[in-house]
Amino acid sequence: MSTTAHRPTIISQSPQQPGDVIGTWADVGPDGLDEALRTARKAWHDWRSASAHERSRALVGAAARVDAAANELTSLVVREVGKPIVEATGEVARIADTLRYYAQVALDVDGDMYPASDPASWVFTRRRPRGVAAVITPWNFPLALPMWKIAPALAFGNAVVFKPSRNGLASAMRLVEVLDLGDILQVVCLGSEAEQLLPARDDVDIVSFTGSTEVGRAVVTAAATAGSVFQVEMGGHNAALVLVDADIDQAASSVARAAMAFAGQKCTATKRVIVVGDPSRFEDALVEHVRALALGDPSDTATVIGPVIDERAQRAVLDAAQQGVAEGGRLLTGGRKTEGDGWFAEPAVLAGLPAGATLLRRETFGPICAVVSARDDAEAVEIANETAYGMVAAIYSRDIGRVMSVAPQLDVGILRVNGPTTGIDFNVPFVGHKASGQGLGEQARAARDLFTTSVTYNISPSPVPEAQS
């Protein structure tokens, strides 16, 4: 007998109005997960046999349905995770574009021809879908992050069991309804044990996870033990290097948004700014640009910084600012709770922190960053690499020769020059280094390696029968 009725209830609330309950769902638990996996596996047997053109048309149709529901999806994202409406609008447009992109990727070359030792034979490879993919995503991009996993998985002929974050559950559930792709895409409402349940299953062939480093490491262990192929993208403690020849105002403006937009709740947000030489001019410019960013109601088109996701996140930002001061840093702006309801925190900038300070070592997922100084480019690189993470870095400079010297020394998976650490196109690989990522990468050609396996064919002509005497 199913125990679903007795499972805990998952509740999603609006961070700008915590009394606004967006929805409640029963945690389906292991029984519900069993059913979802069985359904996905059964559907996969037909989906993997569908032609590439059929899969492509299915994704094109899903993109059209997203377009038709764009306003509804945008409003839901704003309400559920507090994402400013301009960013939320862009996120919805991005998922439609992602679906169309992978609809074309489904029609791409799916193998290679090799010279055979026997001239009469053919040797070639074909890509084959792996099976059922477990997709586990966080709340901060409740539509885009699932889509850059789900779209390629389906395009290459796999089925998907999708476990969204409880804080973005309403958005994810509505997305699956809008996509209307049938049994090849299953969504499950699971509580905190999901990260242990899903990757450990031996009926899961691929695990694609984005989330915290602590949980990600547990996912790696479970997936490796179960024999699944895995891709894990975790946290980032990203640095922006402002070299001596940089345009200070342009760099400060870029860093302000990269650190604080959407309340700094991105794995690619700038958390450390390393200024070569005297940092005072940059500090003044950064504070000016941060204070100019509108903080408030995410449904207002002028808003750049909305709430953090919940009370615990708000407390983490405030505590990090206070701890930075206690450790010898200077609070240049922000670091306070705003008046009224909602989990708002004024964006904080600290400077003068000593080496080894907590804020320089540990990621705080919110609107806070630290400015440190370096004597020269070499020390800036050393400071940037003094972290367990290796997600993304930015370099601000007008000297291309200096950039080309510094860039190869930074131990990150993504490097931006004169642009923010945040943001990446959906048609390029996304791979974190060090503690920011393990296993295979995702997006573009990296997604093909994750969601397919290669089979080598060696075809020889049938022997010619001997002539009958």
Residue-wise pLDDT tens digits, 265-317: 999 999 999 999 999 999 999 999 999 999 999 999 999 999 999 999 999 99
Q: Per-residue confidence at 198, pLDDT binned at 50, 70, 90? A: confident
For the segment 123-134, what is each residue's pLDDT rounded down to a tens digit? Answer: 999 999 999 999
Q: Per-residue confidence at 200, pLDDT binned at 50, 70, 90? A: confident
For the segment 53-103, what is each residue's pLDDT rounded down to a tens digit? Answer: 999 999 999 999 999 999 999 999 999 999 999 999 999 999 999 999 999
Indicate if 189 belongs to the active site.
no
Average pLDDT of the residues of the chain = 94
pLDDT of amino acid 469: 45
For the segment 365-423, what is each residue's pLDDT rounded down to a tens digit? Answer: 999 999 999 999 999 999 999 999 999 999 999 999 999 999 999 999 999 999 999 98
Tokens of 239: 């640095």
Does residue 115 have a pLDDT over 90?
yes
* CA Rg value for the chain: 24
For the segment 46-62, what is each residue's pLDDT rounded down to a tens digit? Answer: 999 999 999 999 999 99
Alpha carbons 148 and 99: distance in angstroms, whole number:
8
Does residue 467 have a pLDDT over 60?
no
Distance of CA 249 to the CA centre of its chain: 29
pLDDT of amino acid 274: 98
Indicate if 267 belongs to the active site.
yes
pLDDT of amino acid 191: 79
Q: How far is CA 215 from each of CA 150, 219, 236, 335, 385, rounded to the nearest angstrom?
A: 20, 6, 14, 28, 23
Catalytic residue, candidates 267, 283, 346, 369: 267
Length of the chain, in residues: 469
> Which residue, 228, 270, 179, 301, is CA-closest to 453?
228
- Determine the average pLDDT of the residues in 427-446: 91
> Which residue, 50, 344, 271, 313, is CA-closest to 167?
313
pLDDT of amino acid 444: 87
pLDDT of amino acid 193: 62
3-state secondary structure of 109: coil
Does residue 211 have a pLDDT over 50?
yes
* DSSP sequence for 296-327: S-TTSTT-SB---SSHHHHHHHHHHHHHHHHT
Does residue 169 have a pLDDT over 50?
yes
Residue 430's CB is within 10 A of a number of other CB atoms, namely: 23
Please give the backbone phi and psi of residue 281, each rounded to the nearest 5 degrees, phi first: -65, -40
Please give the share of the chain, as a percent, with pLDDT higher than 70: 96
Catalytic residue, candidates 233, 283, 346, 363: 233
Residue 55 one-letter amino acid: R
